[in-house]
Amino acid sequence: MKYRNILFWLLAVVITLGASVYQRASGPTNPKKAVVSINEQQYHLKFPRSITTDDRIVRLKINDSSAVATMYYRLYGTFSDYSALVFEHSSDGTMVTTLPSLKALQKIEYYIVINDSSLFEDQPLVLRYKDSVPSLLLIVHILLMFASMLFASYGFIMAFAKSEKVKKYLLLTIYTLVGGGFLFGALVQKYAFGVYWSGFPFGSDVTDNKTLIALIALLLALPFGKKPFFRYVAMVSFAVMFLVFCIPHSI
């Protein structure tokens, strides 16, 4: 029994990590990667799609004095002409430029020209501004959200294995989701974008709405706690939680 529980926890951790990696990699604010060849040397570059209002430096890891890089940008959703920002060579072997000062939630779209290579000109990258969030607050938020998904994964496994501990992990999932998504999540959003909640019924933010959907699905399972079919209801709730968790932030 002990070894089976260890195996179940390991499986829950793998599921949670897998969902976290997928969510991160597929998110629209995750840096866009591209490879550029300069003088027969390949450079693997990352281009930001999210930046803080107090640190607007964009850095390209290109250590070649012959490289010339220019960013062409404009406010997102407008049809104005593109403005140009020229990257300068830095003493640390990179090329840097500073983005214009904008407010949180504002966006720009941009493309890059490096020597004779044009990147993203046909489909410009969208970059969103946000204000800085205290590190401790962000860490607690992330840990609680990770814990909620971990408990949901383990609870699903427990339900599948016909364990009597399903309700315990349903409650733990709810507690950590409320703490991570609705308490600390609201504080993170307040720091980053100036609002505590921008989901239903006040807005259509995907991150807020998916957290709300997950909580409703979990709460709907509670009244069936003493029913013989409770484990099936719980499995559906945990599955909804998992699917919601996989949806990228900030769509």
User: In angstroms, rounded to a whole number, what is the distance separating the alpha carbons of residues 179 and 140?
Assistant: 9
For the stretch 74-88, pLDDT in tens is 999 998 999 999 999
- In the 3-class helix/strand/coil scheme, how is 41-96 assigned residue by residue? EEEEEEECCEEECCECEEEECCCCCCCCEEEEEEECCCCCCCEEEECEECCCCCEE
For the stretch 11-50, pLDDT in tens is 999 999 998 888 877 778 889 999 999 998 999 999 999 9
The residue-averaged pLDDT of 149-176 equals: 94
The residue-averaged pLDDT of 60-74 equals: 95
Confidence of residue 1 (pLDDT cuts 50, 70, 90): low
Domains along the chain with CATH numbers: 2-26+133-246 (no CATH), 32-130 (2.60.40.10)
| Helix-then-strand count for the chain, H and E | 6, 11
Determine the distance from the C-alpha atom of residue 206 to the mean position of all C-alpha atoms in its chain, rounded to a whole number.
11
Max distance between CA atoms of the chain, in angstroms, equals 72
User: In angstroms, rounded to a whole number, what is the distance separating the alpha carbons of residues 201 and 181?
Assistant: 16
